[in-house]
Amino acid sequence: MRRLLTSLLLAFAAGTVVNIGSVRDTLQTQLNLKNSDNATALAQVLSQQKGQRELMELTLSAQFDTGFYRRIRLVGADGATLFDRSGNAAAQHAPAWFVALVPIESNAGLAQVADGWRALGSVEVISQTAFAHDQLWRGGLQSAIALGVEGDLSATVLMLLTPRDAGQVCALLGLAPGSELAPTHAARRLPARR
């Protein structure tokens, strides 16, 4: 029985780790697509401002102040930085050890800014990862709880099995008769009724 409970515990841990890794990969992909889409949309807005630096900076400042970006940068056609703001937001719900253990990368989205055929430069957008870490933390907790309840129910059911049922479970699991879960020889003998 101890081996079976150990197996259930290992399955619980592995399921939680695999789930968190899978969700993290999905969140990273979504962040990268969001960065690319937002850079393109922002470049279109900036392109309509005909190169007026003050209007472009005002637009970029307003976008950065929403709090969803780690960095927004505008580089002119000559390579000079025209606007650059950055800041990190801390995760509100995910603990620091979790954020360090399960990093989420947010690659920059880049798009060209132009006034007709005249190149004005490029805009770079990098989203905050704090919101993704919070979501990953909540999802990981929910997954761990669900897998834990499932494991507890499985262990309870196995403990309530009759020796005959336990022998069938052993056969299904490929365990040899006489293993910890298999019924013992003494358990198979029933006292004679009179």
Which pair of structure tokens corresponds to residue 164? 């005959």
Number of domains observed in the structure of the chain = 1
Average pLDDT (85-94) is: 89
CA distance 169 to 162: 11
Q: Which residue has the higher pLDDT, 24 or 188?
A: 24
Average pLDDT (108-127) is: 93
Our CA dihedral for 156, 160, 165, 171, rounded to 10 degrees, sits at: 30
Does 63 fall in a domain? yes
CATH of the domain at 115: 3.30.1140
Least confident of 55-64, 66-75, 81-90, 150-159: 150-159
Does 6 fall in a domain? no
Query: Does the pLDDT of residue 88 top 50, yes or no?
Result: yes
Which pair of structure tokens corresponds to residue 112? 């060209």
Which pair of structure tokens corresponds to residue 23? 């969700």
Does 115 fall in a domain? yes
CA nearest neighbour of 138 among 170, 104, 93, 98: 93
51 sits in the region (left: phi over 0; alpha: psi -120 to 50; else beta) called left
For residue 144, count other CB atoms closer than 10 A to its CB: 17
Q: Which residue has the higher pLDDT, 111 or 175?
A: 111
pLDDT (tens digit per residue) in 59-72: 999 999 998 999 99
Average pLDDT, the chain: 83
Which pair of structure tokens corresponds to residue 88? 């990190």
79 sits in the region (left: phi over 0; alpha: psi -120 to 50; else beta) called left
Does 56 fall in a domain? yes
Does 173 fall in a domain? no
Q: Are 125 and 42 in contact (CB under 8 A)?
A: yes
Does 187 fall in a domain? no
Does 140 fall in a domain? no
CA 61 to chain centre: 29
Does 165 fall in a domain? no
The residue segments making up the domain with residue 35 are: 29-128
In angstroms and rounded to an integer, the radius of gyration of the C-alpha atoms of the chain is: 29
164 phi, psi to nearest 5 deg: -65, -45
Q: Which residue has the higher pLDDT, 158 or 156?
A: 156
Q: What pTM does this model have? A: 0.71
